[in-house]
Amino acid sequence: MAQTQLDDSFHVFDTTLRDGAQREGINLTVGDKLAIARLLDEFGVGFIEGGWPGANPKDTEFFQRAQTELSLRHAQLTAFGATRRAGLRADEDPQVTALRDSGASVVTLVAKSDERHVELALRVSLTENLAMIADTVAHLRSMGQRVFVDCEHFFDGYRHSPDYAVQVVRTAAEAGADVVVLCDTNGGMLPDDVARIVAEVGARTGARLGMHAQDDTGCAVANSLAAIDAGATHVQCTANGYGERVGNANLFSVVPALQLKRGRQVLPEGCLAEMSRVSQAIAELVNIAPATHQPYVGISAFAHKAGLHASAIKVDPDLYQHTDPELVGNDMRMLVSDMAGRASLELKARELGLDLGSDRTVLGTVVDRVKELEQQGYSFEAADASLELLLRRELGESVCYFEPESWRVIAERNADGTTLSEATVKLRVKGERVIATGEGNGPVHALDQALRSALAGVFPQLALVELVDYKVRILEGSSGTDAVTRVLIDSTDGRREWTTVGVGENVIDASWIALEQAISYGLHQHGR
């Protein structure tokens, strides 16, 4: 497979498929792992740790299929495993044999570096542990494979017994390991201690060092950067920070910090701009909603809400942004809320393709209207479609395709426990009065069916529009039954998605408003 790697002086090592997959709620198929590996390669990482062949049947299958189904341009596939077992030679240990036969050109070995773990968990002597490391590294090197060694619990071990921890690093390096990775396995370290220890170990051993940071103190990214500043030239991360407990150092925070803040080219040219796309695609594959407030790649990473910010952004976006969002494949967004001023709405309208700046009276009216609706419980931050319809109406544009006269819903529960809802809507469409009914498994579904039935004959393009998500929130009120209800509806026509919002005294009333706007926006998009 043809590869276009950077030079070997710095490694971006991804362990999403191994360490990241240990996150609660993630259960990857072999197909998922292959798809994620392709995405990581597109992002330009240097190494992709695929799992533990020989110990996990799914990982064994992954490495077998990877030989024919993966064609990597930038990354090298890496197999993970342990040092030989006590009492066996490396060449007769079946797990070491599985690493050797995996087809991976690089092997990462986990080794104990905390003497307490050696004696209490591994239950071997300190001397035997060193022999297990040296023998396994030397054997795999003799078979032509490159070897990295992960020193598990290194920082805890170093604080307890620094001499033994350093001896583990020195043993691995002298046996032929290209990189010895210092692991903050429990995630309890802070950046200043990481920097000090990495510098000390580097000075004492002369080994090439790497860093693997868990995020239990919320410092995994900072710890990784501190280790690099102290001399580490290999950093292990996971996509979106996935990992056991609270996760690992986030690949999509460490890499842009190095490239955009440190000026260090660690990815092939042009790959950084793929970051937001790759982040979201991996989130879809692991079936975890993308983190909206994730640095760099989150949908809110470059979203601006305060009116003061918007006024400054009109002059220069960099006044309230730490970097250009396009560099990481993201976009700047303007949020409209009761905190918004004229500048926020003007910029948001421009984002939607509308010009409010030429008429200050209209702009003032729109600002007042938005703030009035927000006070009633509306939220336009996530409902661009509703906001666009409002702006177009204020600009005198016709976005009314039907006029609701009335609607009603009847819910019926049968003796066998099944429920059925029936809705009737009365509309005026192009001057004609239309009455239609619809049935559904709930009131909102029934209303949707009735509304579509009433409009289908006049607007056949409505068949392309479908609801894909529905969210309800009960807002503050004087009592539970008196509270205001807000509904958000996500819709799609197969090409794009849009969100509308409705607010009412009950969930059905709010749903009707959001539903009516969702249909109107869909018709507007197809009528433009």
Q: Does 268 lie in the same domain as 323?
A: no
The CATH number linked to 185 is: 3.20.20.70
Name residues whose C-beta falls within 8 Å of residue 44's C-beta, 6 or more positions apart in sequence.
Answer: 12, 74, 75, 267, 268, 271, 272, 274
Q: Is the pTM of this model over 0.85?
A: no
Lowest mean pLDDT among 138-147, 351-360, 439-448: 351-360
Percent of the chain with pLDDT over 90: 57
Question: Which range marks the domain in which residue 424 is found?
Answer: 403-527
Is 330 found in the same domain as 265?
no
| pLDDT tens track for 369-387 | 877 787 788 877 667 888 8
Q: Is residue 392 part of a domain?
A: no
| Structural domain includes residue 496 | yes
**CB neighbours of residue 176 within 10 Å:** 16
With beta carbons less than 8 A apart as the criterion, state whether 186 and 175 touch. Answer: no
- Residue 203 inside a domain? The answer is yes
Report whether pLDDT(163) > 70: yes
Are 362 and 498 in a shared domain?
no
pLDDT for the residue 6: 55
- How many distinct structural domains can be found in the chain? 3
Note whether residue 208 is domain-resident.
Answer: yes
Mean pLDDT score of the chain? 87
CATH number, domain with residue 415: 3.30.160.270
Looking at the domain assignment, is residue 291 inside a domain? no
Please report, as a single letter, which amino acid is at residue 332.
M
State the DSSP code for 428: E
pLDDT at 288: 83
* Same structural domain, 155 and 259: yes
Residue 382 pLDDT: 67
- String of DSSP letters for 118-147: IIIII-S-HHHHHHHHHHHHHHHHHTT-EE
Residue 1 included in any domain: no
How far, in Å, CA of 308 to CA of 312, rounded? Answer: 7
CA–CA separation, 489 and 475 (whole Å): 17
Q: Is the pLDDT of residue 171 over 60?
A: yes
Higher pLDDT, 353 or 237: 237
State the DSSP H helix or E strand holding residue 184, giving kind and residue range, or none if neither.
strand 179-184
pLDDT at 478 over 50: no
Q: Tell me, yes or no, whether 436 and 351 share the same domain.
A: no
27-42 average pLDDT score: 92
Per-residue confidence (pLDDT) for residue 140, from 0 to 100: 96
- Pair of tokens at residue 149: 């060694």
Q: Is the pLDDT of residue 352 over 90?
A: no
pLDDT value for 480: 46
- Shared domain for 29 and 102, answered yes or no, is yes
Q: What is the Cα–Cα distance from 469 to 473, expressed in whole angstroms?
A: 14
Does residue 419 sit in the same domain as residue 361? Answer: no
With 90 as the cut, is the pLDDT of residue 184 above it?
yes
Q: Which of 256, 285, 314 is the last residue of a domain?
A: 285
Rounded distance between C-alpha atoms, residue 401 and residue 356, angstroms: 23
- 259 and 408 share a domain? no
Most confident of the ranges 90-104, 220-234, 342-356: 220-234
Report pLDDT digits (tens) over 125-158: 999 999 999 999 999 999 999 999 999 999 999 9
Pair 157, 129 in one domain = yes
Indicate the DSSP class of residue 424: E
Q: pLDDT tens, 275-301?
A: 998 998 898 888 887 888 899 998 777
pLDDT, residue 227, reads: 98
- Same domain for 227 and 362, yes or no, is no
Cα–Cα distances in Å, from 41 out to 2, 119, 306, 355, 364? 12, 39, 38, 42, 50
Residue 71: exposure state from Cβ atoms within 10 A (0-12, 13-18, ≥19): exposed
Residue 121 CA neighbour count, 13 Å, CB half = 10
**Same domain, yes or no: 411 and 459:** yes
Q: Does 339 fall in a domain?
A: yes
398: tokens are: 């016709």
Q: What is the pLDDT of residue 415?
A: 85
Residues 325 and 215 in one domain: no
3-class DSSP assignment, residue 81? strand
Alpha-carbon gap, residue 71 to 447, rounded angstroms: 50
pLDDT tops 80 at residue 314:
no
Residue 118 lies in a domain: yes
pLDDT value of residue 508: 92
Note the pLDDT tens digit of each residue in 492-511.
Answer: 888 888 889 999 988 999 99
